[in-house]
Amino acid sequence: MSLTIDLSHALPFLPDGTLEQLEPAIQEAEHQLMSRTGAGNDFLGWLDLPRRSLNDAQKFTLETNRFREGLDTIVVIGIGGSYLGARAVIDSLADPFGQNRPGPEILFAGHHMHGPYFNSLIANLKDKNWGIVVISKSGTTTEPAIAFRILRRALEEAVGPQLATKRIIAITDGQRGALRSLADKSGYLTYTIPDDVGGRFSVLTPVGLIPIALAGYNIEGLLTGADRMANLTRTAPFHENPAFQYAATRYALHQQGFLIEVLGSFLPQLQYVAEWWKQLYGESEGKDGKGIFPAAAGYTTDLHSMGQYMQDGPRMLIETLLEELEEGPGPEVPSDPQDLDGLNFLTGKTVSDINQAASQGTILAHAEGGVPVIRIISTKYGEEGIGDLLYFFEKACALSGYLLGVNPFDQPGVELYKKNMFRLLGKPGY
Residues that bind ligand PA5 (CB under 6 A): 79-82, 136-138, 141, 144, 198-200, 283, 411
Phi, psi (deg, nearest 5) at residue 79: -140, 155
CB closer to ligand PA5, 151 vs 318: 151
Which of residues 46 and 60 has its CB atom nearest to ligand PA5 in the complex? 46
CB atoms within 10 A of CB 287: 18
Q: Which is nearer to ligand PA5, 53 or 411 (CB)?
A: 411
- Minimum CB distance to ligand PA5 smaller for 178 or for 354: 178
In angstroms, what is the minimal distance from the CB of 168 to ligand PA5?
Answer: 16
Does 418 participate in catalysis according to the annotation?
yes
321 CB-contact burial (10 Å; exposed 0-12 / middle 13-18 / buried 19+): buried
- 184 vs 13, 327, 333, 357, CA distance in Å? 56, 45, 57, 55
Active-site choice (283, 319, 323, 394): 283
Minimum distance between the CB of residue 271 and ligand PA5, rounded to whole angstroms? 18
- Kindly tell me which of 36 and 418 has the beta carbon lying closer to ligand PA5: 418
Taking the alpha carbons at both ends of the chain, their separation in whole angstroms is 53
Which of 409, 40, 47, 50 minimizes the C-alpha distance to 208? 50
Burial class of residue 127 in the structure, from the number of CB atoms within 10 Å of its CB (0-12 exposed, 13-18 middle, 19+ buried):
exposed
From CA 147, how far away is CA 85, in angstroms rounded?
19
Smallest gap from Cβ 136 to ligand PA5, in A, equals 3
- Indicate which residue of 31, 166, 418, 419 is catalytic: 418
Helix (H, G, I), strand (E, B) or coil at 189: strand
Q: With respect to ligand PA5, which residue has the nearer C-beta, 135 or 213? A: 135
Residue 132: CB minimum distance to ligand PA5, A:
15
> DSSP for 89-101?
HHHHHS-TT-TT-
How many other C-beta atoms can be found within 10 angstroms of the C-beta atom of residue 120?
A: 11
Distance in angstroms (rounded) separating the CA atoms of residues 293 and 290: 9
Shortest Å, Cβ 371 to ligand PA5? 29
H-type alpha helices, 135-287: 142-159, 161-166, 178-186, 206-214, 219-235, 242-255, 271-285
We find the least distance from the C-beta atom of residue 279 to ligand PA5, in angstroms, to be 6
Question: Is residue 210 a contact partner of residue 60, using CB atoms and an 8 Å limit?
Answer: yes
Q: Where are the alpha helices (DSSP H) in 286-427?
A: 307-312, 351-368, 383-404, 416-424
Strand, coil or helix: 56: helix
Q: Note the residue count of the chain.
A: 430
Provide the minimum distance between the beta carbon of 191 and ligand PA5 in the complex, in angstroms, as a whole number: 13
- Cβ contacts of 34 within 8 Å, gap of 6 or more: 47, 234
Closest CA to 246 of 386, 364, 371, 374: 374
Min separation Cβ 307 and ligand PA5, Å: 31
Examine the residue annotation and report whether 304 is marked as an active-site residue of this protein.
yes
What gap in Å lies between CA 272 and CA 270, rounded to an integer?
Answer: 6
Element (H, E) at 205: none
- Residue with Cβ nearer ligand PA5 (138 or 311): 138
Nearer of residues 38 and 199 to ligand PA5, judged by Cβ: 199
* Residues with a known catalytic role: 283, 304, 418
